[in-house]
Amino acid sequence: MKWVIAPLIEGDHIRVKRDFYYHHGIYIGNDEAIHFTGSEGDSISSPEKVSIMRTSMDFFSKGEIVEKAELDKKEKKYLYKRDRIVKTAINSVGEKGYDILHNNCEDFANRICYKKSLSSQLDDFKKKI
């Protein structure tokens, strides 16, 4: 998987750079995203206040550049159909249970988009330590 800056399509796995990590979500069209967040924005320090929310892309991006996942041919066979991705994301709104190690924003996006777990930034970080 590589990350590119390109026009968004409903069902895209998206991410945006934060201070020391990437924040992930699902683009559902109409300039909206679904992602783990708090009402005041991303709050990994207060996981009890975090839930899966439907927000504007402005809220998701906080003015940063949004990238989308671009899959190679092998990875594409694990991608769910876009309409299923959008429907599942919408049906997930309101869910809680955020955990930075086991149920974070990237885990949510991967679970919604892919039939198989793909490598995460947390896995990459663990390999470095």
| CATH at 65 | 3.90.1720.10
**pLDDT, tens only, 51-110:** 999 999 999 999 999 999 999 999 999 999 999 999 999 999 999 999 888 889 999 999
pTM of the model: 0.87
H or E segment to which residue 60 belongs: helix 57-61
Structurally, the chain folds into a number of domains equal to 1
d(C-alpha 82, C-alpha 5), whole Å: 19
Domain around 42: 2-128
pLDDT score for 42:
53
pLDDT score for 40:
67
